[in-house]
Structure 1
Amino acid sequence: MGMAVYAGSDRSSSTEVGRVTRHSFSFGPHYDPANLGFGPLVCHNDDLLAAGGGYPDHPHSELEIVTWVLEGALVHTDSTGHRHVVEAGRAQVLSAGSGIRHSEVADPRSGRCRFVQAWLAPSAPGREPAYVLGEAPQPATGLVEVVGGGGLPIGTTGARLLVARLAPGDVVALPEDPRQHVFAATGAVQLGDRELREGDAVRLEGEPGRVVTASEETDLLVWSFA
């Protein structure tokens, strides 16, 4: 129980032609038995793709895959017939279910693309694959629920993704749920006596309702678990 801070500089990373990925949890060859996940969250990757770069067609199963685009645009194509361009400020949820294939490539017309992608364990296995794309971004104040709850549907019970674009001095209260993963995607915020800068994360257990104050313009991503 309590608060654990994870510095962005401590993340492992994978580099391939056209992409760099930074991993918040144990991932692929970057095996860490002490950092396999947080509740149902088993992957939290921060990807930077060169224009036209990305991930060619590959399979997934029994995962809820949530993508939040921070910069540029991501072209998603999957084996159920979906093909969408996901612009900055939009979320997509791919429920892999019993099995699906997809590709993710930075739209060459929009230059480089940065996105954060989370993988969560589903609450029920063997479901039909599904895909849903969020609406175009709307101006908002404070944390906005984009996945779970009143946001896009996800097959992990009690999981929610909330996001905020904060200006310097903005103050937001974190959700009341008992378990939260707080990620400073850009900028800097103050959480208690700790400062989080770009790439830093905090995992909270049993400390609902903490307050975050932005030190500069910040993109804040919060996974909250009931």
Structure 2
Amino acid sequence: MKTVYHSADSRGHADHGWLNSYHSFSFANYHNPERMHFGVLRVLNDDTVTEGKGFDTHPHKNMEIISIPLEGDLEHKDSMGNTTVIKEGDVQVMSAGTGIYHSEYNKNADKGVKFLQIWVFPNKQNVTPRYDQIATGDLKKENELYQILSPDALDQGVWLHQDAWFYMGDFEAGKSTSQNFNKKGNGAYVFVLEGEVEIAGQTLGKRDGLGIWETSKIDLRATKDSRVLLMEVPMEIG
């Protein structure tokens, strides 16, 4: 088993006024050669968008893009004709493929929006662009990890072009769980949204991250009431 620990205060940071962003991996002006990606997990940004502001229309290509709102809601528009709102409890996925344009705006006049922006390298290039989003409220299980993303369009949650599985979990202090990996050779990156957990002898606090690989499962114990995101991904980019 191998692990890599990323404390919350070791992340890259950019404050643009309208956008306050923390980068777990190299992004934009934050460049750390030792933190370019974790397997096919390329970007994990912890973003806060101020009232009435947002990301103007911009392009993406050949990337799987996942957005998970944590507080508030964002209006999404794209070149495929989609106009939707994503809010706390939703998961959004876009396969950029041959190319898309999109914008994300906080239309609220009285509160900011907090969300995770995640990029995953795809296992297929130049696919037809697509968009999907779901509400995860009916999937939620207390003191268990519940799946929100997989490679299978018929499986629980959204799907993407990669052998990756994402899980969320809300745990009371003292509760434990184990998660077996779905595919041999995969690793997992655990990001603590709230609280404190222990994994592989490492204590993780709020917004800390831990990558773990060369093992077949993860054992997790909450030492405080906690919420976590677990992202199982291939370790080889191909």
Scaled by the length of structure 1, the TM-score of the pair is 0.93
In the aligned structure 2, how far is the partner of 1:192 from the partner of 1:31?
Answer: 28
Aligned-pair distance for 1:45? 0.6
Q: 1:209 aligns with which of 209, 214, 217?
A: 217
1:175 touches 1:224 (CA, 8 Å); kept in 2?
Answer: no
* Aligned residue number for residue 45 of structure 1: 45
1:73 touches 1:110 (CA, 8 Å); kept in 2?
Answer: no
Q: How does 1:23-102 map onto structure 2 within 5 Å?
A: 23-102=23-102
1:163 touches 1:221 (CA, 8 Å); kept in 2?
Answer: yes
* Aligned residue number for residue 168 of structure 1: 173
The amino acid of 1:44's aligned partner reads: L
Q: Indicate the SS of the match to 2:9.
A: helix
1:21 touches 1:45 (CA, 8 Å); kept in 2?
Answer: yes
Aligned-pair distance for 1:193? 2.3
The amino acid of 2:161's aligned partner reads: G
In the aligned structure 2, how far is the partner of 1:72 from the partner of 1:186?
Answer: 17
The one-character-per-residue Cα deviations of 1:91-126 (angstroms, maximum 9, x if unpaired) are 010111111111112240672211111101111111
Superposed CA RMSD: 1.6
* Aligned residue number for residue 152 of structure 1: 158
The one-character-per-residue Cα deviations of 1:61-86 (angstroms, maximum 9, x if unpaired) are 11100111111112211111111111
* Aligned residue number for residue 143 of structure 1: 145
Aligned-pair distance for 1:33? 1.8
In the aligned structure 1, how far is the partner of 2:109 from the partner of 2:160?
Answer: 30
Aligned-pair distance for 1:189? 1.1
* Aligned residue number for residue 195 of structure 1: 203
Aligned-pair distance for 1:221? 0.5
TM superposition outliers: structure 1 runs of 4+ over 6 Å: none
Q: Indicate the SS of the match to 1:108.
A: coil
Aligned-pair distance for 1:199? 1.1
The amino acid of 1:35's aligned partner reads: R
> Measured at CA, do residues 8 and 57 of structure 1 come closer, stay the same or move farther in structure 2, by a change above 3 Å?
same
Aligned-pair distance for 1:136? 4.6
> Measured at CA, do residues 202 and 80 of structure 1 come closer, stay the same or move farther in structure 2, by a change above 3 Å?
same
Aligned-pair distance for 1:171? 1.5
2:192 touches 2:207 (CA, 8 Å); kept in 1?
Answer: yes
Query: Structure 2 regions of 5+ residues with no counterpart?
Result: none
- Equivalenced residues, count: 225
Query: Structure 1 regions of 5+ residues with no counterpart?
Result: none
Percent of aligned pairs sharing the same letter: 26
